[in-house]
Amino acid sequence: MARFSILMIATSAATMGDPAKPTGVWFEELATPYCAFVDAGAAVTLASIAGGPVPIDPRSVKPKGENEAAVERFLGDAAASKALAETPAIAAIDAEADDAVFLPGGHGTMVDLPESAALAALLGKAWAQGKVVAAVCHGPAGLVNAKAETGAPLVQGRRVTGFSDSEERAVGLDAAVPFLLETRLRELGGVYGRAADFHPFAVADGRLVTGQNPASSALTARLVLDALAAR
Helix, strand, coil percent content, the chain, rounded in steps of 5: 35, 20, 45
Are 96 and 130 in contact by the 8 Å Cβ rule? The answer is no
Are 61 and 27 in contact by the 8 Å Cβ rule? The answer is yes
Q: What are the pLDDT digits (tens) for 27-78?
A: 999 999 999 999 999 999 999 999 999 999 999 999 999 999 999 999 999 9
Query: Does residue 202 register a pLDDT over 90?
Result: yes
Q: Average pLDDT of 200-209?
A: 98
**Radius of gyration of the chain measured on its C-alpha atoms:** 16
Specify the CATH architecture of the domain 5-230.
3-Layer(aba) Sandwich (3.40)
Query: What pLDDT shows up at residue 95?
Result: 87
Query: Does residue 2 register a pLDDT over 80?
Result: no
Query: Does residue 176 register a pLDDT over 80?
Result: yes
Residue 23 falls in which region: left (phi positive, over 0), alpha (psi -120 to 50) or beta: beta
Dist CA 35 CA 115 (whole Å): 28
- Give the bridge partners for 135, in sequence order: 103, 210
Q: What are the pLDDT digits (tens) for 88-137?
A: 999 999 889 999 999 999 999 999 999 999 999 999 999 999 999 999 99
0.85 exceeded by the pTM? yes
Query: What pLDDT shows up at residue 1?
Result: 58
